[in-house]
Amino acid sequence: MKYLVIGLGTYGRELAINLSLQGNEVIGVDHRSENIEAVKEQLMTVYELDAKDENSLKLLPLKNMDIVIVAIGEDFGASLKTVALLKKNGVKHIYARAIDNLHQSILEAFNLERILTPEKRAANDLTLELSLNTQCSTFNITKDFMVLKFTAPEKFVGHSYRSINFSRFGLVLISAVRKVTENNLLGLSSSREEILDLERKSMEEKIASRDEIIVMGSRKNITDFLSSVQTN
């Protein structure tokens, strides 16, 4: 895939580098020389220019990109003007970062392919982590429906999957992943992930430390589940 990332602050820089490490062709754009210097050894191509200027923007290979990502977060106006210019120049696949609800609402008017809300998602995941006292991550299916992946809390360890009874909270237990350590022919230990067959005998399986549990449900269902975990 070919990506063009506009805005190489903390978020844009990490995104661009990670996409590049996965084997994608990534072009980075920023008007600040220090941000360009921070990534020029790790990206295929970088441009130091102001994406708010239409003449400068036209210097970029916009038509050759699979996705253009506007990762600008701090400058609300710069983000919106850049998106508007990309639309004007016929770019079809645009992702844009929104830093708050107002920013997101305005971006929605551009009918973009995707609006990114990393701060909101990070805050949501941290709230869930604090509630469960364990690591977790979420994936929103709709505004009110999500998938929750979390490392089994200590209070779950030793209990069977069946005994937790996620369905009483309106949650669907999708899967569970267990990290298994084993020795190879040289006697060296390595770990692999094993998916538990929860539709069969694994429902009676005892939950182990570091098991990763994946459930699906509404935001209210998950909130009720978290409240129960905290009080029990």
Q: CA–CA separation, 217 vs 215, rounded Å?
A: 7
Widest distance between CA atoms in the chain: 64
Show Cβ contacts of residue 100 under 8 Å, excluding neighbours closer than 6 positions: none
Instruction: Please answer whether residues 101 and 107 qualify as being in contact, where contact means their C-beta atoms are separated by less than 8 angstroms.
Output: no
> Angle at which helices 118-132 and 219-231 pack, to 10 degrees?
30
Instruction: Please answer whether residues 128 and 226 qualify as being in contact, where contact means their C-beta atoms are separated by less than 8 angstroms.
Output: yes
Burial class (CB in 10 A: 0-12, 13-18, 19+), 89: middle
Q: How far is CA 140 from CA 19, 107, 120, 144, 215, in A?
A: 22, 19, 12, 8, 12
> Residue 149, SS3?
strand
> Which tokens go with 39?
């990534």
Show Cβ contacts of residue 196 under 8 Å, excluding neighbours closer than 6 positions: 161, 175, 176, 177, 178, 202, 205, 211
What pLDDT is stored for residue 192 in this prediction?
A: 80
What pLDDT is stored for residue 201 in this prediction?
A: 61
What pLDDT is stored for residue 185 in this prediction?
A: 67
> Which tokens go with 30?
């920023």
Q: CA–CA separation, 113 vs 81, rounded Å?
A: 17
What pLDDT is stored for residue 232 in this prediction?
A: 66
Closest by CA to 173, choosing from 152, 192, 158, is: 152
Q: Is the pTM of this model over 0.85?
A: no
What pLDDT is stored for residue 186 in this prediction?
A: 67
Q: CA–CA separation, 116 vs 6, rounded Å?
A: 14
Q: Count Cβ atoms below 10 Å from residue 122 Cβ, excluding itself.
A: 10
Residues lower than pLDDT 50 in the chain: none
